Structure 1
């Protein structure tokens, strides 16, 4: 995805302290979820973490699941399954668009022959 096409929700610009305030999670909890590979903040040259609004939504979802007793390993499995599903859907969308383009081209060629 082109940088200009990315949503503001994807931009990693929020500090860990602000994320903590917004989510109610402690800094320790946020770092733990990063260690467990549930979240992947951007790190600058000095090691400062930066999060996106999507990361905040993910952290809130993780916190809700943890409150329901779901283990982090299960959350990670679910997240990976969802990512694979999105990748498959994206590939399917590309295939559909290519097929539609071929059909449109074929239809235009036939109309031109009539």
Structure 2
């Protein structure tokens, strides 16, 4: 069920107008955060930006940090560290699962 939640949260389906309403940010602010590489919306074939629920959460987090006086450069570095940590955690889980599958496969062959 967690994977279904993640996929729905990460689907880029909302227009900038909806994101603006959900976050209380202006289109200018949202585009600025994209320009500063804090956010990565998808573009339709006609160039319309599409955002996900994860993007909305990220924007809310960014807005809070900006309000606290954190610079966009610092936020970008923090987001990069967080993403690297998540990648490492995912790889560690994947490796443990593979090791478990290998152990189960070879253990079952011995009986």
TM-score by length of 2: 0.91
Aligned to 1:71: 71
Q: Give the root-mean-square deviation of aligned CA atoms.
A: 1.6
Aligned length: 108
Does residue 97 of structure 1 match 2:85? no
Shift of 1:6: 5.9
Compared CA separation, residues 5 and 30, structure 1 to 2 (3 A):
closer
Alignment of 1:19-98 (within 5 A): 19-98=19-98
Gaps of 5+ in 2: none
Shift of 1:14: 0.6
Aligned to 2:8: 8
Deviation readout 1:6-53 (Å, 9 max, x if unpaired): 622111111101111110001100000000010011111221111111
Distance in 2 (alpha carbons) for counterparts of 1:48 and 1:82: 28
Deviating 4+ runs (over 2 angstroms): none
Gaps of 5+ in 1: none
